[in-house]
A and B are shown apart, each in its own frame.
Chain A
Amino acid sequence: MGAPVTDPDRSTEPEDTAVTDAAASTLSGSELVLQYSSSDDPIIGGESIAAEPGAVTALVGPNGSGKSTLLKGLANQLAPEGGSVLLGGDDVQSMGTKALARKLGLLSQESTSPSSITVEDLVYHGRYPYRGFFESISDADREAVERAISLAGCGHLRGREVGSLSGGQKQLAWIAMVLAQETDVLLLDEPTTFLDLHHQLTVIEIIKRLREESDITVVVVLHDIEQAARLADHMIVLEDGEIRARGAPSEVVTESLLEAVFRIDADVELTERGPRIDPLRARNDGNEPDRDDAESRRHDGTEATE
Chain B
Amino acid sequence: MSKRKSTVGPDPTAPSSAKESRFGWLFDPNLITVVLGSLAIVFAGGLIQVSYGAYSMTFAQAWAAVFNPNVVFNPQAWDAFLLGETMPEMSTESLIVWNIRLPRVFVAALVGMNLGVSGAIFQAVTRNELASPFILGVSSGAGLMILLTLVVFGSLTAFLPLIAALGGAGAFLIVYVIAWKNGTSPVRLVLAGVIVGTVFGSLQTALFFFADDIGVVQSAIAWTTGSLTGTDWEQVRLVLPWSFVVVLLSVAGSRQMNVMLLGEQTAKSLGMSIEKVRFALSGVAVLAAAASIAVAGIVGFVGLIVPHMVRNLVGSDSKKLIIGCLFVGPALMVGADVGARLALSPTQIPVGIVTGLLGGPYFLYLMRKQENMGEI
Contacts and interface: CB of A to CB of B under 8 A. Distances in A.
Interface residues of B, number: 29
Interface string B293-327: 00000000000000000000001110000000000
Residue of B16, B259, B265, B317 with most partner-chain A CB within 10 A? B265
Contacts of B15: 120, 146, 155, 158
A102 B271 contact: yes
Contact of B271 (A115, A128, A142, A305): A128
B265 A159 contact: no
A77 B317 contact: no
Given A96-B271, A108-B263, A108-B269, 4 more contacts: A111-B266, A114-B316, A117-B316, A128-B259
A134 interface: yes
Interface string B255-276: 1001101111110111111000
Nearest to B23: A136
A77 B270 contact: no
A75 B316 CA distance: 29
22 contacts: A97-B273, A99-B271, A101-B270, A105-B269, A107-B269, A108-B265, A108-B269, A111-B263, A112-B262, A112-B263, A113-B261, A113-B266, A114-B261, A121-B258, A134-B252, A142-B1, A143-B1, A159-B12, A178-B269, A303-B265, A305-B263, A306-B185
B376 interface: yes
A101 B182 CA distance: 22
A153 B315 CA distance: 26
Interface in B123-181: none
Contacts of A155: 15
B133 to A, nearest CB: 21
Given A111-B262, A112-B263, A117 B317 contact: yes
Interface string A161-201: 00000000000000000100100000000000000000000
A125 B258 contact: yes
Interface in B169-211: 182, 185
A195 B339 CA distance: 55
Residue of B19, B266, B273 with most partner-chain A CB within 10 A? B266
A137 interface: yes
A257 B266 CA distance: 34
A98 interface: yes
B22 interface: yes
B262 A98 contact: no
A303 B16 CA distance: 33
Contacts of B266: 108, 111, 113
A94 interface: no
B316 to A, nearest CB: 4
Contacts, number: 91
A88 interface: no
A114 B271 contact: no
Contacts of A181: 270
A142 B317 contact: no
Nearest to B124: A114
A129 B270 contact: yes
A146 B3 CA distance: 13
Interface residues of A, number: 47
Contacts of A114: 261, 316, 376
Interface in A229-266: none
Interface in A264-306: 303-306
Contacts of B272: 97, 128
A209 to B, nearest CB: 21
A56 interface: no
Contacts of A97: 268, 271-273
Contacts of A96: 271
Contacts of B12: 159
B86 to A, nearest CB: 41
A20 interface: no
Nearest to B264: A306
Contact of B269 (A101, A112, A303, A306): A101
A146 B15 CA distance: 9
Contacts of A137: 19, 22
A266 B269 CA distance: 38
B262 A304 contact: no
Residue of A97, A98, A101, A117 with most partner-chain B CB within 10 A? A97
Contacts of A305: 263
Nearest to B375: A112
A12 interface: no
A213 B109 CA distance: 56
Residue of B19, B270, B273 with most partner-chain A CB within 10 A? B270
A128 B274 CA distance: 13
A145 interface: yes
Given A97-B268, A106-B269, A142-B1, A136 B262 contact: no
Nearest to B10: A159
Interface string A122-140: 1011101101011011000
A143 B2 CA distance: 11
A137 B15 CA distance: 14
A303 B272 CA distance: 17
Contacts of B185: 306
Nearest to A101: B271
3 closest residue pairs by CB, A with B: A101-B271, A129-B271, A98-B271
A100 interface: yes
Contact of B270 (A126, A159, A304): A126
Interface in B224-265: 252, 255, 258-259, 261-265
A39 interface: no
Interface in A54-100: 75, 77, 96-100
Given A116-B317, A143-B1, A125 B252 contact: no
